[in-house]
Amino acid sequence: MSEMSANPAPDTAADPQVAGTPPQGWRPPEKSRITVIAIITVAVLAVLALLYAWQLPPFAGITEATDNAYVRGRVTIISPQVSGYVTSVPVQDFAEVKAGQIIATIDDRIYRARVQQAEANVAAQEAALANSAQAQRSRETATMSQDAGIANARAQLVRAQADMKRADALVADGSISERERDQTRAALTAAEAGVRQAQAGRAIGTQDVRTVIVGREGLRAAVDAARAQMRLAQIDLDNTVIRAPVDGQLSEIGVRNGAYVTPGTQLVFLVPHDVWVLANFKEAQTHGMVIGQPARFRVDALGGASLTGRVQNISPAAGSEFAVLKPDNATGNFVKVAQRIAVRIAVDPGQAEARRLRPGMSVEVTVDTRGGKQ
């Protein structure tokens, strides 16, 4: 009895299991409606971002992208058109130049002497042409003298004919002898010959005038040829000064004073500021592309800066059609290879970063195929 009173009985009221109350576990605090909506929104946006990144529906076909794209420009090769020693190069590497600005000069002493020689040749030919005109006037004056000679010969013929008639009448009645009539007949024959001789001289004079006129055409052609030679010599002289054809920026100068250059020698490259983007898309990607669609491109050289543009034109053929050595798919095993179609993208004006674009830069292009016109 004493041991049983030493151990007190358990408190059934403090133990819920003993009392028959069901156990209750840990439960997180209830979230507010705003928190639930925010979580759902973030999840939906994440799913949409994944679908857009992988171009899965509903974003499939909306945009087309490629990293096979480069900045292009009208890079101009500056070369001389005449041979000679370079006398000056007044520009520096990578300098900005304006149209008409002098880039280099070539020794012009030989070409200046050729111009003077051509000018002298022109003067000589023009003098020959003027002499031809004087010769024509001289021949025409000679023909006037020959006309007078013809008139004189005809007058002599008339007199000889009259003398012959009188001689025939006088010889009939014996007033003159047969010998005198024969002399009169000889004079008549000589007068007739004199008329024919004067007429022949007049014809020769006419032909001389025509010869001078015909020869003048050759002299005029010689004058024109001499003037053309003078213009060619002047062009060569002008080409000794090499100027920038358009505004732009120069590359590294490839020539120095004293160098001997020939036509076609590459002196320097001139890069105008007008640039565009040439993107090579796979042929399947160009299905929905038309002129005028908006485009965006990221430039590696500008720290990933993003610029905008528009589809300006699409190549009329795949790049393989313009290759020098075209692939021959008519023999052997055939493997289908996706061809590339070049798309020209004009850079939108008013973008500050666009002034830093240089031909040859790599870009990543994305074209939005929802806009534009066919």
Q: What is the mean pLDDT of each run of 10 residues along the chain (374 residues)?
A: 44 48 63 80 83 62 86 92 94 93 95 95 88 73 73 80 77 73 80 79 73 76 92 95 94 92 93 93 89 92 91 88 72 76 93 91 91 52
What single-letter amino acid sits at 305? Answer: A
Say what the pLDDT of residue 187 is.
81
Say what the pLDDT of residue 326 is.
72
What long-range pairs does 215-220 form, CB within 8 A, spacing at least 24?
A: 215/132, 216/129, 216/132, 216/133, 216/136, 219/125, 219/128, 219/129, 219/132, 220/129
What single-letter amino acid sits at 253? Answer: I
Closest CA to 102 of 301, 240, 215, 201: 240
| C-alpha–C-alpha distance, residues 80 and 113, integer Å | 19
Say what the pLDDT of residue 12 is.
46
Task: Spell out the residues 6+ positions from residue 337 whose beta carbon is closer than 8 angstroms to its own.
Answer: none
| C-alpha–C-alpha distance, residues 39 and 42, integer Å | 5
Placement of tokens 């006398």 in the chain: 87
Q: Which helix (H) or strand (E) holds 349?
A: none
Residues 68, 366: contact at Cβ < 8 Å? no
Token output for 283: 């042929």
In this structure, CATH architecture of domain 61-75+272-368: Beta Barrel (2.40)
| C-alpha–C-alpha distance, residues 308 and 345, integer Å | 9
Sequence length of the chain is 374
- pTM, two decimals, is 0.61
The residue extents of the domains of the chain are 61-75+272-368, 80-104+241-266, 109-238
Q: Is 350 left (phi over 0), alpha (psi -120 to 50) or beta?
A: left
